[in-house]
A = this chain, B = another copy of it.
Amino acid sequence: MRRTKPYVPGEQVNSENLLKLNTNENPYPPSPHVTKAIEGEMHRHLQLYPSPTADRLREVIADKHQLTKDHIFIGNGSDEVLAFSFMAFFEPGQTIRFPNITYSFYPVYSKIFDIPYETVPLQDDFTICPRDYFNAQGGVIFPNPNAPTSLYLELEAIEQILQQNPNQVVIIDEAYIDFAKTSAATLIEQYENLLVVQTTSKSRSLAGLRVGFALGQPHLIEALMRIKDSINSYTIDRLALVGATEAFLDEEYFTKTTNHIIDTREKVTTELEALGFTVLPSQTNFVFVTNEHQNAKRLYEQLKADDVLVRHFDVEPIEQYLRISIGTDEQMKQFITSLKQHLA
């Protein structure tokens, strides 16, 4: 039996009173069109298998990016898409590279699929230095914006990394891209070694539905399909398929809620700075903050005692930082009120 150290997701505490700012969920419900579509579908054919190829959803996503459905792969959350990508594109014996501070699932995938990896330290300001990722033996993966740092890497830097890894797949994990600047999906036609992974769990308010996707040239998408079809013919259920499709069709709702979160983020940033925090310039739906006069772990625990859950990573060099998801304006007011009471 394989013994691996699994990924530990943010705490999922079942308390209705809890202010949950620890797993970067969207504070707003999905578009009303999503629930309407689910309601229609649930009376239709729940006893029949869903589409194994998810063509309609792929077309809708492709349209957003001026691509065709052959450029889109759908998976059960971006975690499954990432796992399948490790299986499809990274090889035992070929060392891949990712940052030392990043999504903590990457080393877990590496271990379970026997992929050797080296972690590259972030620069002192927590940014990614593109040169560090040139000529990677087995491939490259990192999130953009990176998590938990919240920092965005410009596309010029990503292009350099793509150019300097012509024979390796470079995976850009864009879970938070809709709260940031331009997606690397705009580079897909130019780079056959680029795979972009996105999710509906953050900006589309569908963490509860489990729909992630990858964008890339058709030869990469075919490789992912081959893995999926060797593991599970039908990974996305009927309700998730129609729900996710509607989430992409209601662009107005998406723009409104996303912009609202960005506005709230900027307000919270100003307030935290006024309280003496250093707030990294976030391009995500969370902020990553530190305060030289406050102990981060103590603050985390004191907030938790107040039923305010944020995320603290007890590892160097980020042990003095807190990651705080952006909720509604009202939730962030409650967070700031609680925080103020605990400042030393």
Contact = CB atoms under 8 A, between A and B. Distances in A.
A111 interface: yes
A205 interface: yes
A142 B143 CA distance: 41
A269 interface: no
- Number of copies of this kind of chain in the complex: 2
Interface bracket on A: 35 or more
Contacts of A7: 229-230, 233
Interface in A192-230: 201, 205-210, 223, 225-230
A29 interface: yes
Given A42-B35, A89-B1, A209-B239, A230 B111 contact: yes
A26 B3 CA distance: 38
A23 to B, nearest CB: 6
A337 interface: no
Contact of A47 (B88, B208, B225, B229): B208
Given A1-B89, A240-B237, A240-B239, A230 B109 contact: yes
Contacts of A29: 43, 45-47
A39 interface: yes
Contacts of A46: 29-30, 34-35, 205-209, 243
Contacts of A20: 48
Contacts of A236: 210
Contact of A208 (B1, B227, B238): B238
A148 interface: no
A153 interface: no
Given A6-B226, A76-B232, A12 B51 contact: yes
Nearest to A210: B237
A258 to B, nearest CB: 13
A115 to B, nearest CB: 12
Interface stretch (A77-85, A304-312, A313-321): A77-85
14 contacts: A2-B223, A7-B233, A12-B49, A12-B52, A20-B48, A30-B46, A30-B47, A38-B239, A46-B243, A49-B207, A76-B232, A77-B235, A237-B239, A239-B240
